């Protein structure tokens, strides 16, 4: 795409899009151009339709992928090329309503037992103990930990902050990690970051995601069922099963809408239903 790519990247930065969103939008715009081996400036509505149909029928892309491609091309034609007429017809793919995958307490314990590096044991413990998003966990800083009050300050979506309490066990591992395991990087890049990756950089979400998959396999759990975000789902469902108030759970998770939190009531019901069927099989 050359110059057009540079223009789109500049427009994304001006629009305040996150680095991860910029990367995804530019990637799909490049795939669109590569599919036709022509610049998007020379393509139009019929080509967009053919490309999306190719992804749906030939590549069997997920609905979420189609939504991302659609958003990328909408930005490209609406903003960078200033030709919104090319994508005005685009339908919005309907979201698939899937229940979150939740680990049992035994599986969470097995996952933790499979960890050998203190850093990963700590980040998994904190994610499960506080119900954090992966982006929230990877960007935690030392100053976010309030050991006296046993709370963590979380910088969530939309720069919204919240305080989340952590239990005694998580507090124990956190203090131990801070005292013994965390690398001393004073004077280097990101010295205040709680979890660091290679060359002193903030731990990347992709690297941690892959690490969790490997740990799941080591623990004897199907890696397909396990993801960092699954720890957040497990935290929410386990709290709900133990009688937590839905409104309180919303505040802990940092959900803007209570309707988002209500998905966990359905998860809890489904789990109870499966347990009942397992203990009372039809004869």
DSSP code of 81?
Answer: S
Residue 217's CB is within 10 A of a number of other CB atoms, namely 12
Q: Of 74, 150, 255, 271, which residue is the catalytic one?
A: 255
Q: Of 50, 59, 157, 274, which residue is the catalytic one?
A: 157
Tokens representing residue 83 in the block: 């030709």
From CA 34, how far away is CA 80, in angstroms rounded? Answer: 18
Nearest to 170 by CA among 150, 155, 196: 150
Q: Of 77, 120, 177, 264, which residue is the catalytic one?
A: 264
Residue 60's Cβ-side half-sphere holds a number of Cα atoms within 13 Å equal to 0
Let me know if 232 is a catalytic residue.
yes
Residue 221's CB is within 10 A of a number of other CB atoms, namely 20
**How many residues can be counted in the chain?**
283
Q: Of 35, 218, 229, 271, which residue is the catalytic one?
A: 229
Residue indicated by tokens 């309180």: 248
Q: Of 70, 119, 232, 238, which residue is the catalytic one?
A: 232
Let me know if 264 is a catalytic residue.
yes
Cβ pair 204, 23 in contact under 8 A: no
State how far Cα 28 lies from the chain centre. Answer: 19
Let me know if 280 is a catalytic residue.
no
What is the pairing mode between strands 145-146 and 151-155? antiparallel
Let me know if 157 is a catalytic residue.
yes
Helix intervals (H) in 178-245: 205-218, 228-241
What dihedral angle (degrees, nearest 10) is formed by the CA atoms of 250, 253, 254, 256?
-50
Q: Of 133, 177, 233, 238, which residue is the catalytic one?
A: 133
Q: Which residue(s) pair with 197 in the sheet? A: none
Q: Which residue(s) pair with 235 in the sheet? A: none
**Which amino acids are annotated catalytic?**
133, 157, 229, 232, 255, 264
């Amino acid at each position: 795409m050359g110059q057009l790519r540079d223009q789109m990247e500049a427009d994304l930065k001006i629009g305040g899009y996150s680095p991860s969103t910029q990367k995804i939008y530019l990637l799909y715009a490049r795939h669109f151009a590569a599919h036709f081996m022509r610049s998007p400036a020379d393509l139009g509505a019929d080509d967009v339709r053919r490309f999306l149909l190719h992804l749906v029928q030939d590549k069997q892309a997920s609905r979420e992928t189609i939504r991302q491609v659609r958003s990328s091309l909408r930005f490209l034609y609406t903003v960078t090329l200033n030709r919104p007429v090319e994508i005005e017809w685009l339908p919005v793919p309907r979201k698939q309503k899937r229940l979150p995958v939740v680990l049992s307490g035994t599986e969470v314990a097995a996952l933790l037992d499979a960890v050998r590096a203190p850093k990963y044991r700590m980040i998994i413990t904190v994610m499960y103990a506080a119900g954090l998003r992966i982006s929230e966990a990877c960007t935690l800083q030392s100053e976010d930990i309030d050991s006296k009050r046993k709370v963590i300050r979380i910088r969530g979506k939309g720069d919204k902050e919240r305080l989340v309490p952590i239990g005694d066990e998580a507090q124990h591992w956190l203090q131990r990690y801070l005292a013994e395991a965390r690398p001393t990087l004073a004077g280097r890049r990101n010295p205040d970051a709680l979890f660091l990756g290679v060359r002193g950089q903030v731990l990347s979400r992709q690297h941690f995601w892959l690490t969790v998959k490997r740990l799941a396999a080591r623990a004897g759990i199907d890696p397909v069922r396990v993801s960092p975000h699954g720890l957040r789902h497990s935290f929410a469902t386990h709290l709900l099963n133990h009688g937590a108030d839905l409104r309180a759970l919303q505040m802990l998770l940092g959900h803007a809408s209570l309707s988002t939190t209500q998905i966990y009531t359905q998860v809890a019901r489904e789990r109870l239903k499966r347990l009942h069927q397992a203990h009372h099989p039809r004869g």
